Amino acid sequence: MLRTQFVDIQGDSELAMLISPTKEELEEFKKAVAIMTPDEKAAALDLTDEQVRKIADDAKVDPANFAIFINGYILHCRKL
């Protein structure tokens, strides 16, 4: 229900998923972050699309959801 409130043509519904991820999505995010190297975590703002895809593939998680998670993290960091 929460996600549908954020649907628009600007893509805000994608970032809304980070506010209320499903249990499965949250577990995937945790799994992907857990396998990231310390260097990848320290330089998360500079990860390329290829690096994000490789992390998702290595963690065996949905690459699109993980990319949304990383992009949301980057936007959050840039606001601070």
Residue 24 φ then ψ, to 5°: -65, -45
Residues 18-64 have pLDDT tens digits of 677 888 989 999 999 999 999 999 999 999 999 999 999 999 999 98
Q: Where are the domains of the chain?
A: 22-79
Q: Which residue has the tokens 């601070």?
A: 80
> Phi-psi category of 36—alpha, beta or left, where left has phi over 0 and alpha has psi -120 to 50?
beta
Cβ-based burial of 38 (10 A; exposed 0-12, middle 13-18, buried ≥19) = exposed
Full-model pTM: 0.76
